[in-house]
A and B are shown apart, each in its own frame.
Chain A
């Protein structure tokens, strides 16, 4: 009630005040440090700390202050409240799916001119698919740090044990399902069909496949099948999942639990896909590059990555984060100097070595720093091979809301088996107004 209301305003004010205070302190220093706001797991945050330290060492007198957020959403809050408090960080790292509204509202400083004038960074150093995702009305709004995509992580030891052929490039969705069936086993190693815990006879020891029922997981499959998820990717007004191409993919996807190759909702709540895979209880797991760092700690079995299966043509979805500079930053020159370092060969190499990113810088992506011979995954090249087939999600300021809204419907449909027509109707109903609001803010 009143306190909620007050809390809301207070939180905003306080967050802003904290950031202001931070800046006021540092303003007294001789060289203003560049503030960089990042979100991520402890691993990822450690990587950025290392990057900042390397930059400070390489550039005498330069200083970088890292502001850490726990999640991508937390980061968005911090950015918006600090902009409102008129003391934004100089730089922040954001996924292109979330950057839309900051670009629309003019909160970002375009880097087109700086890039053109730069002696060390050039547009052609980066994958155009990643650069394109951060272009807004002809301006390069942010510079991509990575160019990730979906891949199938697989437990190679299990494949060998059960003599199942490892996935090859160009494999079909049906091949994925058949492979998953062959790998869903009980404790005795017999193939079984996974089901709801109340109906399952024998408990499943290994599930064939883990894939989150999300729109951004289905999208590349729909594209591969020649369909699309929205009416106009550049100015979407609604979902178009009722096309035959989209329906086929949705049907196949939502059937996975009935086929009996994926863990149930209860099992996922008890132990999520990532932990399941790491525990050797999941044969295949569809995810982006970001889980690599965690999986490199696996010692119990061998694992690798395979390309995302396809329907008719290769397709994949872009996952990319970029460094964005805030328009009201008082320290843009220093921020740019940091960017030049962070995206240079040494800077990008440092981040590539953490394993979590596919570097946006071509020279580093094709180097040993990323391809990492001798360190899993052995087939990192597949992340590069898929780049020509990458597509971004539709450009709309309310995209994060659309992901959340569709996620709720799809999770229910996936685990509880709603009829396809209802699912498509529900998805449309849940997103129409969000599209409208997104369109209105363009």
Chain B
């Protein structure tokens, strides 16, 4: 082992130790727990694949897989589109841009639980500001388009939409990353397009998006990984998994309920394992789809390649 390598290992050691102690060890323990019956009261008992067999027939898990994937399918692209849109809108130094940027960041700074409680109030079907707003200009309890206002907490579709809606305001981090990436793009690329007479749409499609592609791809993957967990607090606080039976029961909520409400830690670990498998699958699929697109982009600008 040469000197550089030794230094590298030395510098990485604290991180690796933390990773092993705080992530790998508990993760291994959890995966082991998935094959046991564990209630944390009595000693746990090895039951082989029983938890997984039950999981395969559990209607709550079936619903949760569907809900989690649908959340992922809506929330991830919408969040990204919104964050990219706002970042491109606010990357110039104009009057009010600073305030607007702060406004985009702010919801992410609210503690998750408080954020959930706030939405519980916002989405109140009768007194909530969201529906009050939708009812403006309508009459007889209908919106101005003549439709009934969404029943956020009692209609399954509306409730799921509500959870996605909640996720659309916590894009601060994604926004900042896109904003920074956009600011780092060379002005010459835009000047080339300008000289060729490119319209705004062409600039977006042929310059901005391809150049941001590696960053966007990483953000998509990151958001995918996060989204299978991000739905947890809103589902717990705002809808508590309902409307019944399982309209907003996400995998993360099943894990929570099984472990902490029913003390079925082994079964919860099995659901966690399923969540892990689903996440890995989602990431692999996206990676295959995005790899080619994201390969270039910043690579030629002297920045490090994000994709090997």
Contacts and interface: CB of A to CB of B under 8 A. Distances in A.
Interface stretch (B75-83, B103-111, B185-193, B260-268): B260-268
Interface string A407-419: 1110110010000
Interface stretch (B21-29, B92-100, B168-176): B21-29
Contact of A77 (B127, B260, B275): B260
A68 B76 CA distance: 38
Interface in B243-291: 243-246, 251-252, 255, 257, 259-263, 265, 268-269, 272-273, 275-276, 278-280
Interface in B204-259: 225, 228-229, 242-246, 251-252, 255, 257, 259
A269 B229 contact: no
Contacts of B265: 8, 12
A269 B27 contact: no
Contact of A106 (B33, B42, B59): B42
B27 to A, nearest CB: 5
B66 interface: no
Interface string A223-248: 00000000000000000000000000
Contacts of B127: 270-271
Interface in A189-244: 197-198
Given A80-B41, A198-B148, A433-B54, A408 B229 contact: no
A198 B128 CA distance: 18
A9 B39 contact: no
A153 B255 CA distance: 37
Interface in A148-198: 197-198
A80 to B, nearest CB: 4
Nearest to B280: A1
Contact of B255 (A8, A80, A404, A408): A8
B30 interface: yes
Given A6-B27, A9-B26, A269-B153, A80 B263 contact: yes
Contact of B30 (A5, A84, A271, A404): A5
Contacts of A274: none
B203 interface: no
A266 B30 contact: no
A433 B279 CA distance: 28
Contact of A269 (B23, B40, B125): B125
A82 B237 CA distance: 24
Contacts of B153: 266, 269
A282 B17 CA distance: 60
A409 B60 CA distance: 12
Interface in B18-57: 22-23, 26-27, 29-31, 33, 39-42, 54, 57
Interface residues of B, number: 52
A394 interface: no
B244 A412 contact: yes
Interface in A415-441: 415, 430, 433
B267 to A, nearest CB: 9
B263 A1 contact: no
B154 interface: yes
Contact of A83 (B30, B41, B261, B268): B41
Contacts of B23: 2-3, 6
Contacts, number: 134
B154 A269 contact: yes
Contact of A267 (B26, B59, B126): B126
B141 interface: yes
B143 interface: no
Contacts of A269: 124-125, 153-154
B151 interface: yes
B41 A102 contact: yes
B262 A400 contact: yes
A386 interface: no
Nearest to B142: A198
A73 interface: yes
Contact of B41 (A2, A84, A267, A411): A84
Interface residues of A, number: 46
B245 A412 contact: yes
Residue with the highest number of chain A CB atoms closer than 10 Å, among B229, B243, B269, B278? B243
A197 B153 CA distance: 15
B130 to A, nearest CB: 12
B41 A73 contact: no
Contacts of B276: 1-2, 4-5
B279 A1 contact: yes
B142 to A, nearest CB: 9
A417 to B, nearest CB: 14
A13 interface: yes
A41 B29 CA distance: 35
A5 B273 contact: yes
Contacts of A73: 260-261
A340 interface: no
B125 A270 contact: yes
A8 B272 contact: yes
B31 A5 contact: yes
A10 interface: yes
A307 B88 CA distance: 65
Given A73-B261, A269-B124, A4 B252 contact: yes
A83 B31 CA distance: 21
Contacts of B242: 408, 411
B154 A4 contact: no
B117 to A, nearest CB: 13
Contacts of B26: 5-6, 8-10, 13
A197 B142 CA distance: 11
Contacts of A80: 39-41, 263
Given A77-B261, A265-B243, A408-B245, A3 B229 contact: yes
Interface in A367-407: 398, 400-401, 404, 407
A1 B279 CA distance: 6
B39 A1 contact: no
A107 interface: yes
13 contacts: A1-B229, A1-B275, A5-B30, A6-B23, A6-B26, A8-B259, A8-B265, A76-B263, A80-B263, A198-B141, A270-B126, A401-B262, A404-B261
Q: Which 8 A-B pairs have the closest CB atoms?
A: A9-B26, A84-B40, A1-B279, A408-B244, A270-B126, A105-B41, A5-B30, A408-B245
Given A1-B276, A269-B124, 9 more contacts: A2-B276, A5-B30, A6-B22, A101-B263, A105-B41, A106-B41, A266-B154, A400-B262, A407-B244
Interface of B: 22-23, 26-27, 29-31, 33, 39-42, 54, 57, 59, 124-128, 141, 148, 151, 153-154, 225, 228-229, 242-246, 251-252, 255, 257, 259-263, 265, 268-269, 272-273, 275-276, 278-280
